[in-house]
Structure 1
Amino acid sequence: MIRSAGFSVTLTRALRTLRPAPLRRLAARDTQARDRALAERLERQLILPTAESPHEELSRAAIQDRGQFLARQDRWDDLASAIRTADAARHATPCAMSHAELLSYGARADVVHATEEALADGANPTLDGIEALEDVLGEFPEDYGIAATVALAHADIGWAWRGTGWPHEIPERNQRLFAAHFDRAARILEPVFDRHPDAPLLAAARCTLLSADPEPGKRLMDCYERLIDFNPHNPRPMRALGNHLLPRWFGSYDALELEARRTAARNGATWGSGAYAWVYMDALAVDPGAAHGLDLDFFLDGMRDILANRPDQHIANMLAAYAAITMDPARTPANAPDLLRKTRRAIHGTLDWILAEYLFELHPLIWAEASIGQGYSSLPMRSALLRRGTMTARMTIARHFADELLAGTTVAFSRHGLRLFPAR
């Protein structure tokens, strides 16, 4: 990162904190006017290349679309073969997303989306789609790829009925349907688990089933450890583990802290301290109480280790959006304790070095997902998400460099680092 005037962006931030409080209050006044002024300067002064179809997203979409295509063509034997081959070879996208999981998701996507759309419209979903998948299962009773696809379709439909609210917020009928679909998924998978103990797809499915298990006990960690060991480069199981260790599910804040440390120790060769941060990341996003057991310095070191070990633009955008939006201090509840405010401010502050040292292209879908948040089963079209993500990211980054932009400085991101060019 180079600043043409001779100062680093980080040093500029540090000096800014020394301004007297009255001046800071004056600078913060009339935010809307400031945003309008920034919006007028975005095109001219904020140079950040946009990758509307990044390699990771293209890779995921291609594999998922392949699964969907084979299902639509009733080429279930080809789908089953593709899933088994990908699973056995541990094929994955550049950021370690399993090809077998993507093929399976694509194959069941039409059925699941039909249910989600019907529920979003207030209608009663038809059973035609899931019954058709059950018929396919009858044709391939010994194939674990087909079994996993049908079982996970039941799980996805169960989640569509349940939603992401707290248990006491879910209507009784929705709870029953959630349980019924997960029960059917478990009955489908139970016979194949023992026959294919080394299948990563089944390990992922086993972790999915935990959501409907009232008392998973030690099996929770056993299931997640096995899944993580199959592909330690994939952070998704670590993030899901942290969520399942919250008190609202099957754990406690003490258990979350313990298992985050254990996961970090087991995966140090891959992530350094990063696995600790991965386990906590979603937990902090959905439960403010998770901050009470957090070792903040360990978490911040973990974020640095994640990007040091994986300086990929997909990961850089993910962590930047997490710091900027998910951990935005402005989103902190008004009655939040000081500890939570301190935690969010510190994580939000990592945006400075992420932008300065790692980010050089914008991935809009990641920013759109962060701005929408969790719990939405029906999302806008991809084009709308791209627009939203681009606008959100550029304005968020513009606010971060507000003083520089309003002073006429051009902020330029590239593979060679961040440069600031003062107005002449």
Structure 2
Amino acid sequence: MFGVRRQKTPAPVGAKPVAESAGAVAPSANLPIRAETRQDRSRTAYFSKGQFLARQDRWDMLGRLIAETDRTRATTPSGEALAAVLAVGARDDAVRHARSAIQSTDCPVPMGVEALTEIAEEHPESWAIHLVAARAQMDCAWAYEGQIDPYALPFAPSDAFMARFDVASELIARAEELCPTSAEVAAAKCDLLAAVPEAGDLVDALHRDVIAADPTNPGRLRNYGVHLLPRWFGSYSDLSQTSADLGAEMAADWGESAYAWMWFDALRLDPEAGAVLDAEYFVAGLHSILDRTSDAHLANLIAAYVDGMKPAAAPDDLSPDAMKARRLIHAALPDLTERHLTELHPQVWARADALPGATHAGPLSSGRIAAATAQAKSAVDAAVAARALAADQGIARRA
């Protein structure tokens, strides 16, 4: 459906190596550019389908589509669950209005968000519609705290925030009764922890439930790592230890990839966490991800990520250990691009800073795509220059 291959038992990103290519394609500024890829079209199609069905009040069909997409665990290569994209599209109109309408914690709950909860009540047997309504309530709650894509727990959550999460919790409880095997319901339970006192005691159990429900999806590992940051429910020590433990547990299926996915978003959101990162293990994990798939989407995602680790973009107050990790990661760019980058995907570069399921799941503007294209070309040129310089220096040393 919508350009995504479905499988009853999808292979994990790190499951089995693909056959080695006959030879690496050397990257250059002349790499072909795909303004829109199959993955981009798929994401846009799912978002638009969810939005269209909601606007047409075709809730029964929407509920069945979300449920079926969740059942097959369809995702993008980077771990964005397409059932979640459908749900984002379905609530997008209501949530956009809510974010513009909420100016303070005294503002009433916008009618569109309340309407989705009423629609869920009118569909008591559809867990997927309950999920859409619950996610809208959570989005609304974060709007009361001034956060669009949540980046940290509120220091002192408002009553409005807590009230929306109470409603969302009730909706998710009903969804879980209807479909206890849903990966999206399990993921929503993790996000409900934002309003749970002493939530740190539940983080590991709930995230492991999500991974068990959707074991081939790297997005589940990415979210787990984020929730182990100090700004959420953990500490640098928790993240360091858990990522190492889980990486070892999952090594048979994922190789070194699981460790890299656990740190992927966490390190970007909190650069200081790099002080406890095993940077060599992380870089090996990035190579492992790309060695086990020929997917150009992932090659662009990881190239954009590594380019974003350039020391010049680091915070001024970053510790020496964290800066050292950042330099080591960025130094991997020439090798990664030479071995794996065969074409440029501007939409991937434009979304590289987003968490799976972030607010801009829908189509991107032409201006944003043009800027991402320029960024990608600049990064590739810099990587090619670095590779050439290293080769020249090697020749000079041998001479």
User: Taking structure 2 as the reference length, what is the TM-score of the superposition?
Assistant: 0.81
Task: Quickly say closer, same or farther: Cα 1:249–1:155, change in 2 above 3 A.
Answer: same
**Where in structure 2 are there 5+ consecutive unaligned residues?**
1-22, 390-399
Task: Quickly say closer, same or farther: Cα 1:161–1:353, change in 2 above 3 A.
Answer: farther
Is 2:179 the counterpart of 1:207? no
Larger radius of gyration: 1
- How do 1:331-350 residues align onto structure 2 when only pairs under 5 Å count? 331-350=313-332
* Aligned with 2:143 (options 154, 157, 160): 160
Deviates more, 1:259-268 or 1:271-280: 259-268
Aligned-pair distance for 1:117?
A: 4.1
1:365 equivalent in structure 2 = 347
Match of 2:323, as an amino acid?
R
Match of 2:55, as an amino acid?
R
* Alpha-carbon displacement from aligned partner over 1:372-420 (angstroms, at most 9, x marks no partner): 999x9689952121111111111222233347999xxxxxxxxxxxxxx
Task: Quickly say closer, same or farther: Cα 1:339–1:68, change in 2 above 3 A.
Answer: same
Alignment check: 8 A CA contact 1:114 1:125 kept: no
1:274 equivalent in structure 2 = 257
1:352 equivalent in structure 2 = 334
Matches of 1:269 and 1:403, distance apart in 2: 35
Matches of 1:91 and 1:248, distance apart in 2: 30
Match of 1:198, as an amino acid?
T
Matches of 2:77 and 2:320, distance apart in 1: 39
Task: Quickly say closer, same or farther: Cα 1:401–1:55, change in 2 above 3 A.
Answer: same
Task: Quickly say closer, same or farther: Cα 1:371–1:69, change in 2 above 3 A.
Answer: closer
- How do 1:125-140 residues align onto structure 2 when only pairs under 5 Å count? 127-140=110-123
Matches of 2:95 and 2:301, distance apart in 1: 26
Matches of 1:268 and 1:143, distance apart in 2: 37
Matches of 1:371 and 1:224, distance apart in 2: 22
Is 2:310 the counterpart of 1:328? yes
Task: Quickly say closer, same or farther: Cα 1:49–1:197, change in 2 above 3 A.
Answer: same
* Alpha-carbon displacement from aligned partner over 1:178-207 (angstroms, at most 9, x marks no partner): 322222101222233244221112112112
Match of 1:367, as an amino acid?
W
Matches of 1:368 and 1:87, distance apart in 2: 26
Alignment check: 8 A CA contact 1:96 1:231 kept: no
1:30 equivalent in structure 2 = none
2:175 equivalent in structure 1 = 192
Task: Quickly say closer, same or farther: Cα 1:103–1:299, change in 2 above 3 A.
Answer: same
Alignment check: 8 A CA contact 2:79 2:219 kept: no
- How do 1:192-271 residues align onto structure 2 when only pairs under 5 Å count? 192-271=175-254
* Alpha-carbon displacement from aligned partner over 1:259-292 (angstroms, at most 9, x marks no partner): 1123213332442111111111222112233123
1:88 equivalent in structure 2 = 71
* Alpha-carbon displacement from aligned partner over 1:314-364 (angstroms, at most 9, x marks no partner): 111111111102x11001233322211210000001111111000111111
- When the two structures are aligned, how many residues end up with a matched partner? 362
Percent identical across equivalent pairs? 36
Alignment check: 8 A CA contact 2:334 2:384 kept: no
Is 2:76 the counterpart of 1:99? no
Alignment check: 8 A CA contact 2:275 2:319 kept: no
- How do 1:16-35 residues align onto structure 2 when only pairs under 5 Å count? none
SS of alignment partner, residue 68 of structure 1: helix
Matches of 2:223 and 2:182, distance apart in 1: 19
Deviates more, 1:376-385 or 1:188-197: 376-385
Match of 1:226, as an amino acid?
D
Alignment check: 8 A CA contact 1:116 1:377 kept: no
Is 2:359 the counterpart of 1:401? no
SS of alignment partner, residue 233 of structure 2: coil
Matches of 1:301 and 1:103, distance apart in 2: 34
- How do 1:404-415 residues align onto structure 2 when only pairs under 5 Å count? none
2:371 equivalent in structure 1 = 388
